[in-house]
């Protein structure tokens, strides 16, 4: 997993890693936590995402971004838990779920704080 973090990916490629659970350990390990960052404010086909350390909270509850994210003016998109929950549920409901359907499901979740139904 460490080789997954601190890298840019095409969104479709990263969704495949999540779909096949290659982005996590079998048992919870905080060292494997990550966040998804992008130059955009919503997920789009063929976009690049940066997988980096989660946001840190500093004094006065201000968010501290990883250096790469800050210097490249990237936006926080979602946590590892968010993307895993959306992808895992979509995959359980519809085994043939496509990358574009997953992108729509992620945007739906981020906008409405609700899961898209694939049944």
What confidence tens digit (pLDDT) does each residue in 55-79 have? 888 888 888 899 999 999 999 999 9
Distance (Å, rounded) from C-alpha 26 to C-alpha 1? Answer: 11
Note whether 45 and 100 are within 8 A (CB): yes
Give the mean pLDDT of 75-89.
96
Per residue in 95-114, pLDDT (tens digit) is 999 999 999 999 999 999 99
User: 7-10 and 48-52 as β-strands: parallel, antiparallel, unpaired?
Assistant: antiparallel
Q: At what angle do helices 99-112 and 11-19 cross, to 10 degrees?
A: 90
């Amino acid at each position: 997993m460490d080789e997954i973090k601190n890298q840019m990916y095409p969104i479709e490629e990263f969704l495949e890693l999540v779909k096949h659970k290659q982005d996590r350990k079998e048992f919870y390990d905080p060292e494997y936590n990550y966040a998804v960052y992008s130059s955009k404010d919503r997920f789009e086909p063929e976009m690049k995402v940066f997988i980096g350390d989660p946001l840190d909270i500093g004094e006065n509850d201000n968010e501290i971004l990883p250096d790469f994210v800050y210097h490249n003016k990237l936006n926080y998109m979602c946590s590892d838990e968010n993307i895993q929950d959306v992808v895992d549920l979509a995959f359980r409901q519809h085994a043939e779920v496509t990358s574009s359907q997953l992108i729509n499901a992620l945007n739906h979740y981020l906008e409405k704080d609700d899961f898209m139904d694939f049944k």
